[in-house]
């Protein structure tokens, strides 16, 4: 940055930044124990994610199974009820020999 024409305050700011520059540099090497703890956290998070995924999949399959069962039962009940007439209607059908389709 060209500081020749900038106010004194700008120069002061730049000088402060310059003096503190070493503290802004990143670590070239990993701090002690960092890799181990990061890998452990990563493993734990992955395990949790996998577990959640499995639970989610199981819940999905369970809901589908319940839906199929409930659907099957209701269709069955409906088919059963189809021929389940009132006794008066039943006798009329028998008397007139009405074909039931």
Site of interaction with other proteins (CB under 8 A): 1, 7, 9-17, 19-28, 30-31, 34-35, 37-39, 41-43, 45, 49
- DSSP label at residue 101: -
| Max CA separation in the chain (angstroms) | 116
In the structure encoding, which two tokens stand for residue 22, read together? Answer: 């070493």
Min. distance of Cβ 59 from other proteins in angstroms?
22
- Of the chain, the end-to-end C-alpha distance in Å amounts to 93
User: Given the complex with other proteins, which of 14 and 69 has the nearer CB atom?
Assistant: 14
User: Given the complex with other proteins, which of 16 and 67 has the nearer CB atom?
Assistant: 16
């Amino acid at each position: 940055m060209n500081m020749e024409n900038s106010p004194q305050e700008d120069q002061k700011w730049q000088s402060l930044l310059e003096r503190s520059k070493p503290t802004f540099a990143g670590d070239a090497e990993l701090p002690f124990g960092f890799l181990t703890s990061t890998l452990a956290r990563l493993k734990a998070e992955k395990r949790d994610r996998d577990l959640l995924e499995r639970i989610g999949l199981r819940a999905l399959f369970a809901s589908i199974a319940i839906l199929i069962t409930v659907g099957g039962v209701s269709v069955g009940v409906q088919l059963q009820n189809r021929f389940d007439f009132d006794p008066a209607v039943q006798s009329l059908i028998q008397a007139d020999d009405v074909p039931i389709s």
